[in-house]
Amino acid sequence: MKEEQGHPGHASSAGSAVMERGAANEHTVMERSDVMETVERIGATLVRRYPARRATVGRVPTQRLAPDIDTVESLWAAYKFEGSSWAREQLIVHYLPLVTAVANRIASRLPSSVDSADLVSYGTFGLIDAIEKYETDREVRFESYASSRIRGAILDELRALDWVPRSVRSKSRAIERAYSELEAELSRRPTQAEVADHMGLTSAELSGALAQVATGSVAALDEVMTTDSSVGGQPLSERLADDDALDPLGEVESQETSHLLARAIEKLTERERLVVVLYYFERRTLAQIGRVLGVTESRVSQIHNAAVGRLRAYMYEAEAA
């Protein structure tokens, strides 16, 4: 009895705390109920207006306090009327396959060096822009509206990254189309003159257009190149000629020629060998060689001509053998 009488305020404060918590919980439940009623009302309106667009969307497990949204229409309602960021994210996730489909259609007409994943990344920005600007009260399906926005975003990014002028790309497509049409008509590879006549150009104009198109063709050195006759493939870097590299066949021929020339020089007379060495190896003039040999310049010229004639005859004999 003493304990109960000694602490009358304790029971009172505990009761007040319980009442406050109960009131707070009731207020929270009322707020959540109001939100749910608003979402359900707007969602029902949109479902009646667009009955063909119903699709189920899964909840995010970690989103504990998110509204109970199960349809695409309800997601649109929550985002457009309530400004729900969660609904916006779910719309992006739901329509990502549309981005992949548009990106794959564009990638089929691009070189293999263009990565499809990059196109999907570019198209995602177009999808986000379409979601933010789409008006749900218009009689336009979002898929049709978003497809054009996604395609535009991908093409804009490709043009921004392309360093080749659009006029050159246009010429390239026109030339490819002309080759394809003539191949189907002639059942063979057309000549450049036939292509020029088909396009209404002169041969010089077509050559200039081909030169411009060639400057816009870029390939990675590590790209594997294959042919119809090869099972595997080699990187492009293995197929390019190195101007600084030694030609094995040329090296063998040069060594053989040097060997034959050395043997031919050994067959000359001592004075002829001296003239050849001083003139070709030490770069002396005929006057300087004449002073070394003690003869006139004209005599050195005669010795030189005789030595060259004999060397030429020796080389012909060696090659014939």
On average, the pLDDT of the chain sits at: 76
Residues 85-105, mean pLDDT to the nearest whole number: 92
Q: How far apart are CA 229 and CA 240, in angstroms?
A: 19
Q: Which residues pair with 234 in a beta bridge?
A: 225
Q: Are residues 67 and 107 in the same domain?
A: no
Number of domains making up the chain:
4
pLDDT at 248: 83
pLDDT tens by residue, 127-136? 999 999 998 8
Is residue 175 a part of any domain in this protein? yes
- pLDDT band for position 281 (cuts 50, 70, 90): confident
pTM comes to 0.43
Expressed as residue numbers, the domain containing 32 is: 15-94
Q: How far apart are CA 66 and CA 121, in angstroms?
A: 28
Closest to 50 (Cα-Cα) out of 114, 133, 131, 135: 135
pLDDT at 224: 67
Residue 199: is its pLDDT beyond 50?
Answer: yes
Q: Identify the residue whose tokens are 């218009």.
A: 138
pLDDT at 99: 94
Is residue 87 a part of any domain in this protein? yes
Domain stop point among 66, 94, 122: 94
CATH label of the domain that carries residue 173: 1.20.140.160
Residue predicted with more confidence, 239 or 25: 239
Is residue 226 a part of any domain in this protein? no
- Ramachandran assignment for 134, one of left (phi > 0), alpha (psi -120 to 50 degrees), beta (any other): beta
Residues 78-88, mean pLDDT to the nearest whole number: 88
pLDDT at 257: 87
Which residue type occupies 277?
Answer: V
Residue 162: is its pLDDT beyond 80?
Answer: no
Residue 51: is its pLDDT beyond 90?
Answer: no
Q: How far apart are CA 254 and CA 303, in angstroms?
A: 27
pLDDT at 232: 56
Least confident of 90-99, 212-221, 240-249: 212-221
Which pair of tokens denotes residue 179? 């080759």
